[in-house]
Chains A and B, each alone.
Chain A
Amino acid sequence: MRGRLAVIAVSLLLAAGGLWAGEPAGQNAPAGAPKADPAQPTSDAQFFAELGYKDVAMAADTARALAILISEGKETGADYTACQAYLTKRGVLPDGWLHKAAPDAPTAKGRLAILVCKALGVKGGLWMRLLGPLPRLALHECAYLEVMAAGCDYGHVTGGELVGVIDRTDRLRSTGTRDEVPELEGEPSGAGEVTK
């Protein structure tokens, strides 16, 4: 019996050692295969454009997007900790979720709604005033303001949705209405002229 246990233990150790010594999957990629760009987006245009392709917005994306929103485009740092500190300083992190969340933790709709309500200074209705900005109540408030789409508060936020929420929130912050945008004025030059 002892012999069998010893054999099993040795084989398990060997297997674990093999796994430990094995190379990560990414390093076995062929030489010509494209590799992910490890560099962080430098401009806000690049950040939001790449965010639009993500299936799920991570906590780091949410922190950076909100930092850009609150600072009105001046704060575009990619450092997660710096964004957290900035948002805390501006009073947008009331429940400390972003403090605890890992940078690659997915963002839930309710959590994002709380941050948006804080960014907009929305106090809400009776229950939100009594109970505070709970995820469900905050999401209802954001859906009423047409800043976010209604749904379950525990659902994940996609990257494109986060971009849209930031755009609508900024319009609401700056103009007071979600639909107001600067009108396009002028006329095209092509009155018979064709630029080639």
Chain B
Amino acid sequence: MTRLRPLILGCMILALGTAATLGAEKAAAPKTDAGPLVAVVRAVIGTVETRPAKDQPWVPVTVGMTLAEGADIRTGFRARCILDMTDSLVQVDPLTVIRIGELRQEGQTVRTRLYMKHGNTQAVVEKGKIESDFAIITPSATLSVPGTKGIKAGFYPVLGGSYGLAGSGLIAVRDTMLGRQTNCGQGESTNDNATNPLQVLAQLYLPIVLGDKGYDPKEQNAAGRWHTSMPIPPGLQGGAPPNTGSMTGGQETGGGDGGPIPPGYRGDNTIPPPPAGGGPG
């Protein structure tokens, strides 16, 4: 029996070691399955409502509720909610309408797409064991994130959008219409046109440089507009402003191809009438 004791002890140590190794391997192994995920509501302040799909009724959001792909969320005045989306934390700010467009796991990547109609959102995207493919899409721009904190996105019709980063990391903003893209580092922000963050800062803080005629850079065509007392600059003479219809303020000296202006011709964008005396045939 005394001879067997070390053997039994050795077997036990071996078994424990094997079990521990297997357990550690099991814990470290990333989940590779694919499928839709859900967002868990962490906090709710004020009136926040959701619906699981377009044709479903709106119901109040409560803490602990799970929201799946396709769910719409709307917040009221001074209301907000925080959503836990596996690899990201999203705060939906007041007066926002947002949809969880995509929230799914694809291999080791969690793909998240938030469609924001209007309003403001903030997000923290954790760069860790799970690879993140996170983006906030507004009608005018797309903000995509590899992994960072302090993301801020806001959009309202006419007023435009603003996209910035308060924390460390990097975000990319792409103009939906033109496809132009820019990156924002910590403390930088951009707009719908994906303007370079340095230019945004320059517009905010640098004094306006006026030209020799007293126009700022945005007023290059000021004298070409209607209802102005300023004379048309020499460079703009010879053509009417576009889409003027019957209003002829341009000082045309000739037709489009250099010939005389036909009678009844009312601007560059209108089709000249056929010459008097009959057309073809």
Q: A183-B122, A184-B82, A188-B89 are in contact. Are A73 and B159 (CB under 8 A)?
A: no
Q: How close is B155's CB to chain A, nearest CB, in angstroms?
A: 8
B159 touches A166 (CB 8 A): no
Give Cα distance in the complex from A62 to B87, angstroms.
Answer: 40
* Bound Cα distance A72, B46 (Å): 12
**How long is the Cα–Cα vector from A181 to B166 in the complex, in angstroms?**
12
A: contact size bracket: 35 or more
Is A13 in the interface zone, CB < 8 Å from B? Answer: no
B110 CB contact (under 8 Å) in A159, A190, A191: A190
Q: Which residues A26-74 have CB closer than 8 A to chain B?
A: 43-49, 52, 68-69, 72-73
Q: What is the 8 Å Cβ interface bit string for chain A, positions 144-176, against chain B (1 contact, 0 not)?
A: 000011000000001111011111101000000
A186 with B89: CB separation less than 8 A: yes
Give the contact-size bracket for chain B. 35 or more
A194 proximal to B (CB < 8 A)? yes
Q: A49 to B47, alpha carbons, bound, how many Å?
A: 12
Query: Which stretch from B5-13, B70-78, B172-180, B229-237 is at the chain A interface?
Result: B70-78
Interface centre among A45, A166, A192 (most CB of B within 10 A): A45
Inter-chain contact A161/B157, CB cutoff 8 Å: yes
B 104-138 contacts with A by CB, 8 A: 105, 110, 117-120, 122-126, 128-130
Min C-beta distance of A33 to chain B, whole Å: 16
Q: How many A-B pairs fall under 8 Å by CB?
A: 140
Q: Is the CB of B78 within 8 A of A161?
A: no
Residue from A43, A160, A161, A189 in contact with B49 in the complex, judged by beta carbons closer than 8 Å: A43
- A44–B157 touching, CB < 8 Å: no
Q: Is B91 an interface residue (CB 8 A)?
A: yes
Q: Please determine whether B37 and A196 come into contact, CB atoms closer than 8 angstroms.
A: yes
* Cα of A149 to Cα of B150 in the assembled complex, Å: 26
User: Across the two chains, which residue of chain B brings its CB closest to A74?
Assistant: B77
When the two chains form their complex, are residues A52 and B97 in contact, meaning their CB atoms are under 8 A apart? yes
Residues of A within 8 A of B124 (CB): 184, 186-188
CA distance A14 to B78 in the complex (A): 58
B residues less than 8 Å from A167 (CB atoms): 94-95, 119-120, 156
Interface SS majority for chain A: loop
Supposing A188-B84, A195-B86 touch, asked if A160 and B40 sit within 8 A by C-beta, the answer is no
A187 B77 Cβ-Cβ under 8 A: no
Chain A nearest CB from B140 CB (Å) reads 12
Q: How far is the CB of B35 from chain A (nearest CB, A)?
A: 7
Within 8 A of B (CB), among A133-153: 148-149
Determine the distance from Cα of A68 to Cα of B95 in the docked complex, in whole angstroms: 12
Contact of B47 among A43, A159, A193 (CB under 8 A): A43
Complex Cα gap A45–B118 (Å): 13
**B67 smallest CB distance to A (angstroms):** 11
Interface residues as binary, B28-40 with A (CB distance below 8 Å gives 1, 0 otherwise):
0011000111101
Please report the C-alpha to C-alpha distance between residue A86 and residue B254 in the assembled complex, in whole angstroms: 62
Contacts A/B (CB < 8 Å), 29 sampled: A44-B77, A45-B49, A45-B74, A45-B79, A46-B74, A52-B118, A72-B77, A73-B46, A148-B159, A160-B118, A160-B156, A164-B158, A166-B77, A167-B119, A167-B156, A170-B77, A181-B152, A186-B89, A187-B126, A188-B86, A188-B89, A189-B40, A190-B87, A191-B128, A194-B31, A194-B86, A194-B110, A195-B37, A196-B37
Report which B residues bind A (CB closer than 8 A): 30-31, 35-38, 40, 42, 46-49, 58, 66, 74-80, 82, 84-89, 91, 93-95, 97, 105, 110, 117-120, 122-126, 128-130, 150, 152, 156-160, 166
Top 4 closest pairs, chain A to chain B, by CB: A164-B156, A160-B157, A45-B76, A190-B86
